[in-house]
Amino acid sequence: MSEVKVNEDLVKERQKCSFDVEELIHLVDGGKHNTLERKKIEQYVLSIKELKDEVPEEYLSHKERYENSVRKGCILFMVLMKGILERKPSRNDGISYNYKIINGVIKDITPFMLHFGMFLPTLASQASPEQQQEWLKKGIQMIGTYAQTELGHGTFLRGLETTATYDADTEEFVIHSPKVTSYKWWPGGLAQTVNHCIVMAQLYTKGKNHGIHPFLVQIRDIETHMPLPGIKVGDIGPKLGFQTANNGFLGFDNYRIPRMNMLMKNSQVLKDGTYVKAKNDKLTYGTMVFVRVTIVADVAYELARAATIAVRYAAVRHQSKPKPNEPEPQILDYVTQQHKLFIAVATSHAFRTVGRWLWSTYTKVIADMRHGNMDQLPELHALACCLKAVCSKDASTCVEQCRFACGGHGYMQSSNLPIIYGIVTATVTYEGEHTVMLLQTARYLVKAYKQASEGKSLTPTVAYMTKYLKSGSHYWQNTPEGIIGGFQAVATGKIKEACESLFQHVKSGKDYEDAWNLSSVRLINASEAHARAVLCEMFWKEIQRISTTVSPSLAIVLTQLAELYLNYWALEKRGDMLMYSTITKEDISSLQRRYEELLALIRPNAVGIVDAFDIRDEILCSTLGAYDGRVYERLMEEAMKSPLNKEPVNQSFHKYIKPLLIQAKL
């Protein structure tokens, strides 16, 4: 068999790379051992013939697409369960390589995502040890999802209407959906895939409501998969993305489950119906925080996929003729193109780096919690909320930018950019809606501001406030440290302003809730600014630390990416910098010049840097982004798979167009 030729532009780009791509691959993976492990798993999974699609998914109907994703999901389910148990891939950022491979093989979202992502983690964190022993031994017999959101309520958990009423006579809970708004709506895999759910419901016992609690509910027969009597379950229909996630609805008609199906690690209901409250409500925060923390690493990875596609395509694509006697340049040579793309590359590195730091913070806090120390939970919660909000939104913007940067071809499904966008933009909403997450962090910031004003010491991630509240402004310097200080000054200034607005409204006689609402635009701006200060500081610090452990040539590239990230955001937020620091017009011009210098410095290594994300073609799933750069051939090959190209004349001509032409002649 003849070797497939690699596009010449890509060959040249790779030749001029100034650093060792392999070294960066190991860094991205978190070590050489992880790279080898990942490659082994990829090689195994991706060589399974049955996982390849004869017809691209996009040409299938909604129903066929689902069936195909279940087919492939089941193959992966078995392989990966084995892989997880036997190989335990490194989880240094909270996500396993399995997640990455699954997304490539399924292309969109697998209907089993919630089983691994929410169902098992919730059982692990909220079921008692005895319950875990009983349920987890059922293993694969129990396929589950996490059913919280209802038609009527998502954000406001206390507003959920599904009820779980304890019947002491039969020692059962009666799960009921009293009206249409109480139907569960959205859970992934719920529609046709799972046979069990964690259902969040209002607990009633002895006539008293005790708020929202989790229950393990079987919804389908294990053998026949028929919905059990009292269960109404189905598909919610097509969405912007997540077409194969099998998001479903679920209603209960006085459906009974045994008492022991309430997850009882924290709160309990005794046989006689006595409610025993959890010693600490905060214990239930665990899963919520876990998922938000992992979203930072997830979007970093999806962004790496989008950036790889768009940068490789920009190296292959030639367009326009700025100089009449010279050939059309690669579009990657247009500085505006570099401006669109290099921030996406740098952002992926920033989120992966900060995601790893967040993950290690999370594991430490959870370990402390197990020993009864909850002191750092509020800070972690505030951090996870704002980082989840800002990272998911920035990643969506960057993916969209990558799509724009590919012109018309980026709009093709076969580029895979629309599907990646669908996956990433969903993270803005699920597991805590964007604005609501920022407002959660704002509550913590308001408390911290009050403490700082009273001269009390602050927790590490908000400690910068003390300095800038004292100094009032930031003495600007055009250095990375100066930019980080600028972001901290902006955050402090915005937090102060939001708090003053809030306190002013309260002082003028408004209820706290109304004052909060009136100040909420300032509050979310303050939260976003805080997240940016954290992202810039942690990314820069980590890159500085890592740079001392890698080769000088790689250290240069990493530092350029981190500096680009900082400069990009300093320029984006120049208005804020003007308000809260001593930055001048000249400083801004100099920042702009440095930013342009950085684009030029990164340019020769751009392809090498995205190659170092080391995402195999089968996982990129893109006509535009494959390693060999055969863009046009692939676009044509994929187009030829369209069922419409299977016949020279489509029947609709005879049915509709011809009669129209005849009519028009008359």
Ligand X SMILES: Cc1cc2nc3c(=O)[nH]c(=O)nc-3n(C[C@H](O)[C@H](O)[C@H](O)COP(=O)(O)OP(=O)(O)OC[C@H]3O[C@@H](n4cnc5c(N)ncnc54)[C@H](O)[C@@H]3O)c2cc1C
Is 238 an interacting residue with respect to ligand X (CB under 6 A)?
Answer: no
The answer to whether 361 is a known ligand-binding residue is no
Q: Which of residues 188-207 bind ligand X (CB under 6 A)?
A: 188
CB 131 within 8 A of CB 264: yes
Rule CB under 6 A: say whether 155 interacts with ligand X: yes
Stretch that binds ligand X, among 43-51, 145-153, 473-481, 639-647 (CB under 6 A): 145-153
Residues 595-654 contacting ligand X, CB under 6 A: none
Residue range at the interface with ligand X (CB under 6 A); choices 99-107, 141-149, 380-388, 653-661: 141-149
CA gap 572, 588 in Å, rounded = 11
274 vs 429, which CB is nearer to ligand X? 429
Nearer to ligand X, 187 or 355 (CB): 187
Which stretch in 76-84, 127-135, 424-432, 502-510 sits in contact with ligand X by CB under 6 A? 424-432
Query: Of 73, 104, 154, 486, which lies in the binding site for ligand X, with binding defined by CB under 6 A?
Result: 154
297, 384 Cβ separation under 8 angstroms? no
**188 assigned to a ligand binding site:** yes
Binding segment for ligand X among 87-95, 427-435, 467-475, 654-662 (CB under 6 A)? 427-435
Among positions 19, 97, 146, 464, the unique one binding ligand X when judged by CB under 6 A: 146
Report if residue 114 touches ligand X, rule: CB under 6 A.
yes
* 148 contributes a contact to ligand X by CB under 6 A: yes
Contact residue for ligand X among 69, 98, 149, 337 (CB under 6 A): 149
- Closest residue to ligand X, Cβ-based? 154
Element (H, E) at 291: helix 285-316
Determine contact, residues 390/535, Cβ cutoff 8 Å: yes
What number of other Cβ atoms are within 10 A of residue 662's Cβ? 9
Q: How far is the CB of 576 from ligand X (least distance, A)?
A: 22
Nearest to 568 by CA among 613, 602, 542, 526: 602
Which one-letter DSSP state was computed for residue 419?
Answer: H
If binding is defined by CB under 6 A, does position 215 make contact with ligand X?
no
Query: Of 82-90, 121-129, 143-151, 461-469, which segment contacts ligand X by CB under 6 A?
Result: 143-151
Q: At what angle do helices 285-316 and 417-429 cross, to 10 degrees?
A: 150
Calculated CA dihedral for residues 152, 157, 158, 159, nearest 10 degrees: -10
Q: Which is nearer to ligand X, 147 or 619 (CB)?
A: 147
User: How far apart (Å, rounded) are the C-alpha atoms in residues 54 and 166?
Assistant: 51
Compute the least distance from the CB of residue 118 to ligand X, in Å.
6
What CA–CA distance (Å, rounded) separates 288 from 281?
Answer: 13
Residue 190: closest CA among 264, 249, 256: 249
Residues with Cβ within 8 Å of residue 464, at least 6 apart in sequence: 488, 491, 492, 533
Per-residue x/- track, 169-188, ligand X (CB under 6 A): -----------------xxx
Least distance in Å: CB of 109 to ligand X? 8
Nearer to ligand X, 19 or 112 (CB): 112
Least distance from ligand X to the Cβ atom of residue 197, Å: 9
As a whole number of angstroms, the distance between CA 662 and CA 666 comes to: 7
Site for ligand X in 344-363 (CB under 6 A): none
User: Hey, is 12 helix, strand or coil?
Assistant: helix
Task: Report yes or no: 591 and 571 within 8 Å, Cβ to Cβ.
Answer: yes
Residue nearer to ligand X on the CB measure, 29 or 400: 400
Q: How far is the CB of 45 from ligand X (least distance, A)?
A: 24
Q: What is the CA radius of gyration of the chain?
A: 27
Tokens, residue 250: 């679920």
Going across the sheet that includes 184-185, the strands are 184-185, 248-252, 231-235
Contacts of 533 (CB under 8 A, 6+ apart): 464, 484, 487, 488, 490, 491
Contact track, ligand X, 428-467, x by CB under 6 A = -xx--x-xx--x----------------------------
SS3 of residue 324 by DSSP:
coil
Using CB under 6 A as the binding rule, whether residue 422 contacts ligand X is answered as no
68 or 425: whose CB is closer to ligand X? 425
Choose the stretch contacting ligand X; rule: CB under 6 A; options: 153-161, 166-174, 372-380, 626-634.
Answer: 153-161
Per DSSP, the chain holds a count of helices (H) and strands (E) of 25, 11
Helix (H) / strand (E) element for 15: namely helix 8-15
Could you say which of 13, 58, 302, 431 is catalytic? Answer: 431
**431 in active site:** yes
Least Cβ distance, residue 427 to ligand X (angstroms): 8
Tell me which stretch binds ligand X (CB under 6 A): 27-35, 147-155, 495-503, 630-638: 147-155
Nearer to ligand X, 181 or 592 (CB): 181
Q: CA 295 to CA 427: how far, in whole Å?
A: 7
**Spatial CA neighbour of 80 closest among 42, 54, 49, 52:** 42
Binding to ligand X in span 246-265, by CB under 6 A: 247
Identified binder of ligand X from the candidate list 66, 99, 215, 242, rule CB under 6 A: 242
Query: Any alpha helices (H) in 152-207, and if so which ranges?
Result: none
**522-581: which residues touch ligand X (CB under 6 A)?**
none
CB of 239 to ligand X, least distance (A): 6
Q: Is 73 helix (H, G, I), strand (E, B) or coil?
A: helix
Total residues binding ligand X (CB under 6 A): 20
* Phi, psi for 215 (deg, rounded to 5): -130, 140
Q: How far is the CB of 151 from ligand X (least distance, A)?
A: 9
Cβ proximity to ligand X, 189 vs 486, nearer residue: 189
Applying the rule CB under 6 A, the residues between 283 and 312 that interact with ligand X are none
Cα separation, 278 vs 212, whole angstroms: 13
Q: Which is nearer to ligand X, 242 or 565 (CB)?
A: 242
Q: Return the number of the residue (517 or 582) whose C-beta is nearest ligand X.
A: 517
- Shortest reach from residue 186's CB to ligand X, in Å: 4
Determine, following the binding rule CB under 6 A, whether residue 111 of this chain makes contact with ligand X.
Answer: no
Is the Cβ of residue 54 or residue 513 nearer to ligand X in the bound state?
513
CB-neighbour burial class of residue 236 (10 A; exposed 0-12, middle 13-18, buried 19+): middle
Assess contact for 392 and 295: CB atoms under 8 A.
Answer: yes
d(CA 275, CA 292): 30
Non-local (6+) Cβ contacts of 328 within 8 A are 318, 319, 320, 321
Q: Which region, judged by CB under 6 A, interacts with ligand X, from 140-148, 167-175, 292-300, 474-482?
A: 140-148
The Cα diameter of the chain in Å comes to 91
Q: Is 7 in contact with 317 (CB distance < 8 Å)?
A: no
Interface with ligand X includes 426 (CB under 6 A)? yes
Q: Considering only residues 127, 142, 147, 197, which one is a binding residue for ligand X as defined by CB under 6 A? A: 147
Q: Which residues are annotated as a binding site for FAD?
A: 149, 188
Active site residues: 431
* Binding footprint of ligand X on the chain (CB under 6 A): 114, 146-149, 153-155, 186-188, 242, 247, 426, 429-430, 433, 435-436, 439
Q: Which residues are annotated as a binding site?
A: 149, 188
